[in-house]
Structure 1
Protein backbone atom coordinates (compact mmCIF):
# COMPACT_ATOMS: atom_id res chain seq x y z
CA UNK A 1 0.00 0.00 0.00
CA UNK A 2 2.80 2.43 0.96
CA UNK A 3 4.57 1.60 -2.34
CA UNK A 4 1.38 2.35 -4.30
CA UNK A 5 1.04 5.70 -2.58
CA UNK A 6 4.68 6.56 -3.26
CA UNK A 7 4.21 5.62 -6.93
CA UNK A 8 1.16 7.90 -7.16
CA UNK A 9 3.10 10.75 -5.54
CA UNK A 10 5.87 10.17 -8.08
CA UNK A 11 3.36 10.32 -10.94
CA UNK A 12 1.93 13.57 -9.55
CA UNK A 13 5.42 15.09 -9.45
CA UNK A 14 6.05 13.95 -13.04
CA UNK A 15 2.77 15.57 -14.11
CA UNK A 16 3.73 18.78 -12.29
CA UNK A 17 7.04 18.82 -14.21
CA UNK A 18 5.17 18.25 -17.49
CA UNK A 19 2.77 21.08 -16.61
CA UNK A 20 5.73 23.40 -15.95
CA UNK A 21 7.10 22.58 -19.42
CA UNK A 22 3.73 23.44 -20.98
CA UNK A 23 3.64 26.71 -19.04
CA UNK A 24 7.10 27.58 -20.35
CA UNK A 25 5.84 26.97 -23.90
CA UNK A 26 2.83 29.19 -23.16
CA UNK A 27 5.13 31.97 -21.95
CA UNK A 28 6.98 31.80 -25.26
CA UNK A 29 3.66 32.22 -27.04
CA UNK A 30 3.01 35.36 -24.98
CA UNK A 31 6.25 36.82 -26.34
CA UNK A 32 8.28 37.68 -23.31
CA UNK A 33 11.77 36.69 -22.33
CA UNK A 34 13.67 36.69 -19.05
CA UNK A 35 16.31 39.37 -18.46
CA UNK A 36 17.76 40.33 -15.07
CA UNK A 37 15.32 37.95 -13.31
CA UNK A 38 12.22 39.54 -14.77
CA UNK A 39 9.90 39.14 -17.72
CA UNK A 40 10.52 41.63 -20.53
CA UNK A 41 8.10 42.29 -23.37
CA UNK A 42 9.09 43.74 -26.73
CA UNK A 43 8.05 47.31 -27.58
CA UNK A 44 5.41 46.01 -29.97
CA UNK A 45 3.83 43.80 -27.31
CA UNK A 46 3.88 46.64 -24.78
CA UNK A 47 2.18 48.91 -27.30
CA UNK A 48 -0.57 46.31 -27.83
CA UNK A 49 -0.96 45.97 -24.06
CA UNK A 50 -1.31 49.75 -23.58
CA UNK A 51 -4.20 49.78 -26.07
CA UNK A 52 -6.11 47.42 -23.75
CA UNK A 53 -5.65 49.62 -20.69
CA UNK A 54 -8.73 51.32 -19.28
CA UNK A 55 -8.35 54.47 -17.22
CA UNK A 56 -8.47 54.31 -13.43
CA UNK A 57 -11.48 56.66 -13.51
CA UNK A 58 -13.41 54.36 -15.87
CA UNK A 59 -12.39 51.29 -13.87
CA UNK A 60 -13.66 52.91 -10.67
CA UNK A 61 -16.85 54.14 -12.35
CA UNK A 62 -17.69 50.71 -13.77
CA UNK A 63 -17.04 48.90 -10.49
CA UNK A 64 -20.18 47.96 -8.62
CA UNK A 65 -21.17 49.88 -5.50
CA UNK A 66 -20.94 46.75 -3.35
CA UNK A 67 -17.46 46.02 -4.71
CA UNK A 68 -16.33 49.51 -3.74
CA UNK A 69 -17.69 49.36 -0.20
CA UNK A 70 -16.04 45.99 0.44
CA UNK A 71 -12.56 47.31 -0.37
CA UNK A 72 -11.84 48.58 3.19
CA UNK A 73 -12.53 45.04 4.47
CA UNK A 74 -10.12 43.59 1.92
CA UNK A 75 -7.32 46.03 2.71
CA UNK A 76 -7.88 45.77 6.49
CA UNK A 77 -6.39 42.28 6.25
CA UNK A 78 -3.04 43.87 5.31
CA UNK A 79 -2.02 44.42 8.95
CA UNK A 80 -2.63 40.81 10.06
CA UNK A 81 -0.78 39.62 6.93
CA UNK A 82 2.22 41.80 7.78
CA UNK A 83 2.19 40.43 11.34
CA UNK A 84 1.92 36.84 10.05
CA UNK A 85 4.76 37.45 7.60
CA UNK A 86 6.97 38.89 10.36
CA UNK A 87 6.28 36.22 12.98
CA UNK A 88 6.57 33.30 10.54
CA UNK A 89 9.91 34.67 9.35
CA UNK A 90 11.07 35.11 12.94
CA UNK A 91 9.86 31.59 13.82
CA UNK A 92 11.86 29.90 11.09
CA UNK A 93 14.89 32.13 11.73
CA UNK A 94 14.98 31.00 15.37
CA UNK A 95 13.71 27.40 15.14
CA UNK A 96 14.81 25.92 11.81
CA UNK A 97 18.56 26.09 12.52
CA UNK A 98 17.89 24.23 15.79
CA UNK A 99 15.96 21.52 13.93
CA UNK A 100 18.49 21.37 11.09
CA UNK A 101 15.83 22.37 8.56
CA UNK A 102 16.55 24.52 5.53
CA UNK A 103 14.82 27.90 5.77
CA UNK A 104 12.06 28.78 3.31
CA UNK A 105 13.08 31.50 0.87
CA UNK A 106 10.43 34.18 1.10
CA UNK A 107 11.33 35.58 -2.33
CA UNK A 108 10.19 32.30 -3.93
CA UNK A 109 6.65 32.91 -2.65
CA UNK A 110 6.16 36.67 -2.31
CA UNK A 111 6.63 37.95 -5.86
CA UNK A 112 5.80 41.42 -7.16
CA UNK A 113 5.81 41.72 -10.93
CA UNK A 114 2.28 42.38 -12.15
CA UNK A 115 2.74 46.14 -11.74
CA UNK A 116 4.95 45.99 -14.86
CA UNK A 117 2.04 44.95 -17.09
CA UNK A 118 1.22 47.84 -19.41
CA UNK A 119 -2.48 46.97 -19.70
CA UNK A 120 -3.20 47.55 -16.00
CA UNK A 121 -4.14 50.96 -14.61
CA UNK A 122 -2.94 52.25 -11.25
CA UNK A 123 -5.92 50.85 -9.29
CA UNK A 124 -5.53 47.44 -10.88
CA UNK A 125 -1.80 47.50 -10.11
CA UNK A 126 -2.52 48.29 -6.45
CA UNK A 127 -5.03 45.44 -6.31
CA UNK A 128 -2.57 43.05 -7.97
CA UNK A 129 0.17 44.06 -5.53
CA UNK A 130 -2.15 43.37 -2.59
CA UNK A 131 -3.16 39.96 -3.98
CA UNK A 132 0.46 39.04 -4.75
CA UNK A 133 1.44 39.89 -1.18
CA UNK A 134 -1.54 38.17 0.48
CA UNK A 135 -1.32 34.93 -1.49
CA UNK A 136 2.48 34.95 -1.44
CA UNK A 137 2.60 35.30 2.35
CA UNK A 138 0.02 32.56 2.81
CA UNK A 139 1.96 30.18 0.52
CA UNK A 140 5.22 31.10 2.29
CA UNK A 141 3.72 30.47 5.71
CA UNK A 142 2.15 27.19 4.52
CA UNK A 143 5.59 25.97 3.43
CA UNK A 144 7.08 26.94 6.81
CA UNK A 145 4.20 25.16 8.56
CA UNK A 146 4.52 22.06 6.35
CA UNK A 147 8.21 21.71 7.17
CA UNK A 148 7.40 22.15 10.85
CA UNK A 149 4.63 19.53 10.61
CA UNK A 150 6.93 17.09 8.84
CA UNK A 151 9.50 17.52 11.60
CA UNK A 152 7.15 17.25 14.59
CA UNK A 153 4.00 15.42 13.51
CA UNK A 154 4.10 13.77 10.06
CA UNK A 155 0.81 11.92 10.55
CA UNK A 156 -2.19 12.19 8.25
CA UNK A 157 -5.63 13.06 9.61
CA UNK A 158 -8.36 10.43 9.74
CA UNK A 159 -10.63 12.64 7.63
CA UNK A 160 -9.67 13.74 4.14
CA UNK A 161 -8.55 17.37 4.19
CA UNK A 162 -8.73 19.94 1.41
CA UNK A 163 -5.69 21.92 0.35
CA UNK A 164 -3.10 19.58 1.83
CA UNK A 165 0.49 20.67 1.22
CA UNK A 166 2.83 18.70 -1.03
CA UNK A 167 4.58 16.93 1.88
CA UNK A 168 1.33 15.53 3.31
CA UNK A 169 1.09 12.53 0.94
CA UNK A 170 4.27 11.00 2.39
CA UNK A 171 3.11 11.31 6.00
CA UNK A 172 2.37 8.27 8.15
CA UNK A 173 -1.19 6.97 7.95
CA UNK A 174 -3.55 7.84 10.79
CA UNK A 175 -3.41 5.12 13.45
CA UNK A 176 -0.38 3.34 11.97
CA UNK A 177 1.42 2.79 15.28
CA UNK A 178 3.89 0.00 14.58
CA UNK A 179 6.21 2.13 12.43
CA UNK A 180 5.69 5.47 14.17
CA UNK A 181 9.06 6.02 15.87
CA UNK A 182 11.07 4.92 12.83
CA UNK A 183 8.80 6.82 10.44
CA UNK A 184 9.14 10.02 12.47
CA UNK A 185 12.93 9.75 12.34
CA UNK A 186 12.83 8.95 8.61
CA UNK A 187 10.65 12.01 7.96
CA UNK A 188 13.12 14.21 9.83
CA UNK A 189 16.09 12.78 7.91
CA UNK A 190 14.31 13.33 4.60
CA UNK A 191 13.50 16.91 5.57
CA UNK A 192 17.06 17.68 6.65
CA UNK A 193 18.48 16.15 3.47
CA UNK A 194 16.36 18.24 1.08
CA UNK A 195 18.58 20.13 -1.34
CA UNK A 196 18.45 23.88 -1.63
CA UNK A 197 15.96 24.83 -4.35
CA UNK A 198 18.23 27.43 -5.98
Structure 2
Protein backbone atom coordinates (compact mmCIF):
# COMPACT_ATOMS: atom_id res chain seq x y z
CA UNK A 1 0.00 0.00 0.00
CA UNK A 2 1.42 3.38 -0.99
CA UNK A 3 1.63 6.36 1.36
CA UNK A 4 -1.23 8.07 -0.48
CA UNK A 5 -3.43 4.97 -0.23
CA UNK A 6 -2.65 4.70 3.45
CA UNK A 7 -3.62 8.35 3.96
CA UNK A 8 -6.91 7.78 2.14
CA UNK A 9 -7.67 4.75 4.33
CA UNK A 10 -6.98 6.83 7.44
CA UNK A 11 -9.32 9.52 6.12
CA UNK A 12 -12.06 6.92 5.72
CA UNK A 13 -11.68 5.84 9.35
CA UNK A 14 -11.69 9.47 10.52
CA UNK A 15 -14.81 10.29 8.51
CA UNK A 16 -16.57 7.18 9.85
CA UNK A 17 -15.86 8.32 13.41
CA UNK A 18 -17.17 11.78 12.55
CA UNK A 19 -20.32 10.26 11.04
CA UNK A 20 -20.88 8.20 14.20
CA UNK A 21 -20.72 11.38 16.29
CA UNK A 22 -23.27 13.09 14.04
CA UNK A 23 -25.58 10.07 14.30
CA UNK A 24 -25.35 10.23 18.08
CA UNK A 25 -26.30 13.92 17.99
CA UNK A 26 -29.27 13.11 15.78
CA UNK A 27 -30.42 10.48 18.29
CA UNK A 28 -30.53 13.14 20.99
CA UNK A 29 -32.63 15.40 18.77
CA UNK A 30 -35.12 12.54 18.20
CA UNK A 31 -35.30 11.91 21.94
CA UNK A 32 -33.73 8.52 22.44
CA UNK A 33 -30.48 6.86 23.45
CA UNK A 34 -29.01 3.43 24.06
CA UNK A 35 -28.33 2.07 27.52
CA UNK A 36 -26.71 -1.39 27.66
CA UNK A 37 -28.12 -2.21 24.20
CA UNK A 38 -31.64 -1.19 25.28
CA UNK A 39 -33.45 1.76 23.68
CA UNK A 40 -34.74 4.45 26.04
CA UNK A 41 -37.05 7.24 24.87
CA UNK A 42 -37.51 10.57 26.59
CA UNK A 43 -40.75 11.18 28.45
CA UNK A 44 -43.63 11.86 26.09
CA UNK A 45 -41.93 10.59 22.93
CA UNK A 46 -43.66 7.19 23.05
CA UNK A 47 -47.07 8.83 23.47
CA UNK A 48 -46.43 10.92 20.36
CA UNK A 49 -45.30 7.81 18.50
CA UNK A 50 -48.54 5.99 19.35
CA UNK A 51 -50.50 8.95 18.04
CA UNK A 52 -48.73 8.61 14.68
CA UNK A 53 -49.32 4.86 14.39
CA UNK A 54 -51.47 3.91 11.40
CA UNK A 55 -54.11 1.24 11.92
CA UNK A 56 -53.73 -2.08 10.12
CA UNK A 57 -56.93 -1.41 8.20
CA UNK A 58 -55.68 1.98 7.07
CA UNK A 59 -52.28 0.54 6.20
CA UNK A 60 -53.80 -2.18 4.00
CA UNK A 61 -56.21 0.29 2.39
CA UNK A 62 -53.29 2.46 1.26
CA UNK A 63 -51.14 -0.46 0.09
CA UNK A 64 -51.02 -1.24 -3.61
CA UNK A 65 -52.32 -4.54 -4.94
CA UNK A 66 -48.81 -5.36 -6.12
CA UNK A 67 -47.38 -4.89 -2.62
CA UNK A 68 -50.00 -7.20 -1.13
CA UNK A 69 -49.59 -9.90 -3.81
CA UNK A 70 -45.78 -9.81 -3.59
CA UNK A 71 -45.71 -10.28 0.20
CA UNK A 72 -45.71 -14.13 0.07
CA UNK A 73 -42.84 -14.04 -2.45
CA UNK A 74 -40.81 -11.75 -0.22
CA UNK A 75 -41.43 -13.80 2.91
CA UNK A 76 -40.59 -17.05 1.10
CA UNK A 77 -36.97 -15.88 1.28
CA UNK A 78 -36.99 -16.79 4.97
CA UNK A 79 -36.34 -20.43 3.99
CA UNK A 80 -33.03 -19.90 2.11
CA UNK A 81 -32.01 -17.26 4.65
CA UNK A 82 -32.45 -19.70 7.54
CA UNK A 83 -30.49 -22.34 5.64
CA UNK A 84 -27.63 -19.94 4.81
CA UNK A 85 -27.59 -18.65 8.40
CA UNK A 86 -27.36 -22.16 9.84
CA UNK A 87 -24.88 -23.40 7.22
CA UNK A 88 -22.55 -20.42 7.59
CA UNK A 89 -22.66 -20.77 11.38
CA UNK A 90 -21.76 -24.45 11.10
CA UNK A 91 -19.01 -23.66 8.60
CA UNK A 92 -17.25 -21.14 10.81
CA UNK A 93 -17.78 -23.26 13.93
CA UNK A 94 -15.80 -26.05 12.26
CA UNK A 95 -13.37 -24.35 9.88
CA UNK A 96 -12.51 -21.20 11.81
CA UNK A 97 -11.65 -23.30 14.84
CA UNK A 98 -9.41 -25.47 12.68
CA UNK A 99 -7.73 -22.33 11.25
CA UNK A 100 -7.59 -20.74 14.74
CA UNK A 101 -9.58 -17.71 13.56
CA UNK A 102 -11.94 -15.60 15.71
CA UNK A 103 -15.59 -16.50 15.18
CA UNK A 104 -17.97 -13.84 13.83
CA UNK A 105 -20.61 -12.85 16.40
CA UNK A 106 -24.12 -13.00 14.94
CA UNK A 107 -25.30 -10.42 17.47
CA UNK A 108 -22.99 -7.85 15.89
CA UNK A 109 -24.91 -8.13 12.61
CA UNK A 110 -28.46 -9.29 13.36
CA UNK A 111 -30.36 -6.79 15.49
CA UNK A 112 -34.04 -6.80 16.43
CA UNK A 113 -34.93 -3.43 17.95
CA UNK A 114 -37.52 -1.81 15.70
CA UNK A 115 -40.35 -3.49 17.62
CA UNK A 116 -39.83 -0.77 20.26
CA UNK A 117 -41.09 1.88 17.84
CA UNK A 118 -44.66 2.62 18.89
CA UNK A 119 -45.53 4.29 15.57
CA UNK A 120 -45.36 0.93 13.76
CA UNK A 121 -48.41 -1.32 13.56
CA UNK A 122 -47.91 -5.08 13.78
CA UNK A 123 -47.62 -5.55 10.01
CA UNK A 124 -44.97 -2.82 9.74
CA UNK A 125 -43.15 -4.23 12.77
CA UNK A 126 -43.18 -7.70 11.19
CA UNK A 127 -41.85 -6.30 7.92
CA UNK A 128 -39.07 -4.52 9.83
CA UNK A 129 -38.17 -7.71 11.70
CA UNK A 130 -37.91 -9.60 8.42
CA UNK A 131 -35.69 -6.92 6.86
CA UNK A 132 -33.55 -6.81 10.00
CA UNK A 133 -32.99 -10.54 9.82
CA UNK A 134 -32.43 -10.69 6.06
CA UNK A 135 -29.89 -7.87 5.95
CA UNK A 136 -28.33 -9.03 9.20
CA UNK A 137 -27.75 -12.53 7.84
CA UNK A 138 -26.20 -11.09 4.68
CA UNK A 139 -23.87 -8.91 6.77
CA UNK A 140 -23.03 -11.84 9.04
CA UNK A 141 -22.23 -14.14 6.13
CA UNK A 142 -20.29 -11.38 4.37
CA UNK A 143 -18.03 -10.98 7.40
CA UNK A 144 -17.46 -14.75 7.55
CA UNK A 145 -16.65 -14.71 3.83
CA UNK A 146 -14.28 -11.74 4.19
CA UNK A 147 -12.30 -13.50 6.91
CA UNK A 148 -12.20 -16.60 4.74
CA UNK A 149 -10.94 -14.54 1.81
CA UNK A 150 -8.24 -12.90 3.91
CA UNK A 151 -7.11 -16.34 5.06
CA UNK A 152 -7.01 -18.01 1.64
CA UNK A 153 -6.76 -15.26 -0.99
CA UNK A 154 -6.02 -11.70 0.22
CA UNK A 155 -5.61 -10.37 -3.35
CA UNK A 156 -7.44 -7.47 -4.96
CA UNK A 157 -9.23 -7.97 -8.28
CA UNK A 158 -8.03 -6.50 -11.53
CA UNK A 159 -11.61 -5.41 -12.26
CA UNK A 160 -13.36 -2.80 -10.18
CA UNK A 161 -15.50 -4.28 -7.40
CA UNK A 162 -18.56 -2.34 -6.30
CA UNK A 163 -18.75 -1.83 -2.51
CA UNK A 164 -16.05 -4.33 -1.45
CA UNK A 165 -15.99 -5.59 2.13
CA UNK A 166 -14.00 -3.65 4.72
CA UNK A 167 -10.93 -5.92 4.58
CA UNK A 168 -10.51 -5.65 0.82
CA UNK A 169 -8.52 -2.39 0.63
CA UNK A 170 -5.69 -3.88 2.71
CA UNK A 171 -5.33 -6.88 0.40
CA UNK A 172 -2.34 -7.38 -1.87
CA UNK A 173 -2.36 -5.79 -5.30
CA UNK A 174 -3.37 -7.88 -8.29
CA UNK A 175 -0.26 -9.39 -9.85
CA UNK A 176 1.96 -8.97 -6.76
CA UNK A 177 3.27 -12.54 -6.86
CA UNK A 178 6.23 -11.89 -4.57
CA UNK A 179 4.01 -10.20 -2.02
CA UNK A 180 1.55 -13.08 -2.05
CA UNK A 181 4.22 -15.70 -1.43
CA UNK A 182 6.00 -13.60 1.16
CA UNK A 183 3.04 -12.18 3.07
CA UNK A 184 0.23 -14.75 3.00
CA UNK A 185 1.09 -16.02 6.48
CA UNK A 186 1.26 -12.42 7.71
CA UNK A 187 -2.36 -11.89 6.66
CA UNK A 188 -3.38 -15.10 8.40
CA UNK A 189 -1.53 -14.26 11.60
CA UNK A 190 -3.05 -10.77 11.61
CA UNK A 191 -6.49 -12.29 11.31
CA UNK A 192 -5.82 -14.73 14.15
CA UNK A 193 -4.62 -12.01 16.51
CA UNK A 194 -7.41 -9.55 15.94
CA UNK A 195 -10.39 -9.65 13.60
CA UNK A 196 -11.45 -6.06 14.40
CA UNK A 197 -11.63 -3.53 11.51
CA UNK A 198 -8.59 -1.63 12.78
CA UNK A 199 -6.49 -4.75 12.40
CA UNK A 200 -7.03 -4.96 8.67
CA UNK A 201 -8.02 -1.51 7.47
CA UNK A 202 -4.55 -0.04 7.07
CA UNK A 203 -1.22 -1.70 6.52
CA UNK A 204 2.08 0.12 7.07
CA UNK A 205 3.26 2.03 4.04
CA UNK A 206 6.25 0.56 2.25
CA UNK A 207 8.76 2.51 0.20
CA UNK A 208 8.16 2.36 -3.55
Q: Residue in 2 aligned with 1:88?
A: 88
Please give the alpha-carbon distance, in whole angstroms, between the structure 1 residues aligned to 2:57 and 2:166: 42
Deviations 1:37-57 (A, max 9, x none): 211113400011111110011
Q: Residue in 2 aligned with 1:187?
A: 187
Gaps of 5+ in 2: 198-208
Please give the alpha-carbon distance, in whole angstroms, between the structure 1 residues aligned to 2:21 and 2:165: 22
For normalisation by structure 2, the TM-score amounts to: 0.90
Q: SS in structure 2 opposite 1:103?
A: coil
Q: How many residues end up aligned between the 2 structures?
A: 197
Gaps of 5+ in 1: none
Change (3 A) 1:14 1:134: same
Compare relative contact order (CA 8 Å, sep 6+) and give the higher one, 1 or 2.
2
Deviations 1:62-117 (A, max 9, x none): 10001111111100100000000001111111111111211111001000000110
Q: Residue in 2 aligned with 1:63?
A: 63
User: For residues 132-151 of structure 1, what are the structure 2 equivalents within 5 Å?
Assistant: 132-151=132-151
Q: SS in structure 2 opposite 1:160?
A: coil
Asked if 1:116 is matched to 2:109, the reply is: no
Q: Is the 8 A contact 1:6 1:170 kept in 2?
A: no
Q: SS in structure 1 opposite 2:158?
A: coil
Q: SS in structure 1 opposite 2:164?
A: coil
CA RMSD of aligned residues (A): 1.4
Q: Residue in 2 aligned with 1:78?
A: 78
Please give the alpha-carbon distance, in whole angstroms, between the structure 1 residues aligned to 2:82 and 2:162: 25
Please give the alpha-carbon distance, in whole angstroms, between the structure 1 residues aligned to 2:192 and 2:139: 21
Change (3 A) 1:186 1:2: farther
Deviations 1:1-32 (A, max 9, x none): 53322221121111111111111111111111
Q: Residue in 1 aligned with 2:154?
A: 154
**Segments of 4+ in structure 1 off by > 6 A?**
none
